[in-house]
Amino acid sequence: MSGPWPSSEDTSPGNDRLDLTRRAALEGGAATAAVLEAGAFAAPASAKAAEPDVQSIPLSVQLQINGGFHQLSLDPRTTLLDALREHLALTGAKKGCDHGQCGACTVLLDGRRINACLTLAVMHDGQSITTIEGLADGETLHPLQAAFIEHDGFQCGYCTSGQICSAVGMLRESCLGMPSYVTADLAQPHPQLTDLEIRERMSGNICRCAAYPNIVAAIRQAAEQPS
């Protein structure tokens, strides 16, 4: 999927170039050969025409994160994920695929789970964001955090903060009666949260260690707890 990005023009924040280098190394010789012979298609013609004049002007953004207000000055290209990780040192939300496919970057925006990698921080001026760092109440873990530990709902842990934030959002959706693809009767106002429902509703969070059975068990326990 990756291509040769002109390095002199790439000033994007974060570690895009690092990712690319790693990806190219993993793909090995084939990727390199493809890059060399296909340079002509590196960028659409329209982009070349539009690009030289454009300057990134930092914009002022206020974000309410885990209850506290933060005033930032950001290149408009900064994703919400990079704003959290690179500008606010909140590294709980992880950068996995950086393309909305793995769910490791899941955070809650005004209580709703989203992929922080696929949205720009400047789009969320004045909005409220909750990350994994904001879930516990002092030393008391959020019920989902405690349940993940109790049920061993992880192995390497890289996806875990995204899994837990996603599960918090998912349980809220379930409380609101929102249906899923596997809900048999869509007209039913409060579908029951079966294991099948949990699995379908959590499909946007990938666990490469495949801790899925324990993740489902942890979420089921938290769902059954009175909150």
Partner 1 sequence: MRAFTYERANSVEQAAAAMATPGAKIVAGGTNLLDLMKLQVETPARLIDINRLGLDKIDDMADGGLRIGATVRNSDLAADERVRRQYGVLSRALLAGASAQLRNKATTSGNLLQRTRCSYFYDVTKPCNKRSPGSGCSALAGANRMLAILGASSQCIATHPSDMAVAMRALDARVETINAGGAIRSIPIAEFHRLPGATPNVETTLKSDELITAVMLPPPPPGVQIYRKVRDRASYAFALVSVAAVVDAANGRIRSARLAFGGLAPKPWRVVRAEETLLGAPANASSVGAAADAVLDGAQGHGGNDFKIPLARRTLHAVLAAATQA
In this chain, which stretch among 52-60, 87-95, 148-156, 207-215 interacts with partner 1, using CB under 8 A? 52-60
Phi-psi region of 165 (alpha: psi -120 to 50; beta: other; left: phi over 0): alpha
Instruction: In whole angstroms, give the CA distance from residue 193 to residue 220.
Output: 8
* One of 26, 30, 57, 89 touching partner 1 (CB under 8 A): 57
Q: Is 201 in the site for partner 1 (CB under 8 A)?
A: yes
Token pair 């809220």 in the structure block, residue: 172
- Does residue 30 interact with partner 1 by CB under 8 A? no
Compute the distance between CA of residue 2 and CA of residue 26 in angstroms, rounded to an integer. Answer: 12
- Does position 98 bind partner 1 by CB under 8 A? yes
Q: How far apart are the first and last CA of the chain?
A: 44
Q: Among 63, 83, 88, 119, which residue sits at the site for partner 1 (rule: CB under 8 A)?
A: 119
Q: Report the residue number, 41 or 68, with the smaller CB distance to partner 1.
A: 41
> CB of 212: closest distance to partner 1 in angstroms?
12
Cβ 139 to partner 1 shortest distance, Å:
29
Sheet holding 106-109, edge to edge: 68-74, 59-65, 128-130, 106-109, 112-115
Q: Which of 11, 71, 140, 227 binds partner 1 (CB under 8 A)?
A: 11
- Judged by CB under 8 A, the residue of 83, 129, 168, 170 near partner 1 is 170
Would you count residue 103 as binding partner 1 (CB under 8 A)? yes
Contacts within 8 Å (CB) and 24+ apart, 28-32: 31/2
| Interaction of residue 130 with partner 1, rule CB under 8 A | no
Longest dimension (CA), the chain: 61
